[in-house]
Copies of this chain bind each other. A is one copy, B any other.
Amino acid sequence: MDTELRQTLHRRGLRMTPQRQLVLDAVAELGHATPEEICTKVQEIAPAVNITTIYRTLDLLEQLGIVRHTHLGHGAPTYATGEHEHVHLVCHRCGTVGEVDADLLDGLAGVLAAEAGFTLDPTHVALSGLCSRCETSDSEVDA
């Protein structure tokens, strides 16, 4: 199960360690989580693992293309495994993070390529706006 990671590391002369497996497992399980959250999760199993190692491992896994990070708004970035092929919808009122299929951005991707020569990475995007709940309560407040 950890063979894939092990081999990816091997190919670059890097080593497989329990920490790296734990971090990857935590990222995969948590979905999109901050370094802090990932650290907490990892420490449930291996309390001695240092937050420094979390940061270093996340950087590494990202370089290897195994995880990606997204800035969903405020402070900390969130990390998720590459299989997470969706777009994040962040409500800037309540902070809720929703998700929709990345396919919805196909049209936009074409336009951006044509207009700006920009190659959109749909899975790394966080769109900002209001979720349905806040949109509703918002109109009441604004009135």
Q: Which residues of A contact B (CB under 8 A)?
A: 70-74, 89, 91-92, 98, 100, 104-105, 107-108, 111-112, 115-121, 124-132, 135
Instruction: Find out whether the CB atom of B127 lies under 8 angstroms from the CB atom of A120.
Output: yes
Q: Secondary structure at chain A's binding surface: helix, strand, loop or mixed?
A: mixed
- Shortest beta-carbon distance from A142 to chain B in Å: 11
Instruction: Find out whether the CB atom of B129 lies under 8 angstroms from the CB atom of A119.
Output: yes
Q: Quick one: closest B residue to A70, CB to CB?
A: B128
In the bound complex, CA of A91 to CA of B135 (Å):
31
Instruction: Find out whether the CB atom of A89 lies under 8 angstroms from the CB atom of B104.
Output: no
Instruction: Find out whether the CB atom of B128 lies under 8 angstroms from the CB atom of A125.
Output: yes
Instruction: Find out whether the CB atom of B105 lies under 8 angstroms from the CB atom of A118.
Output: no
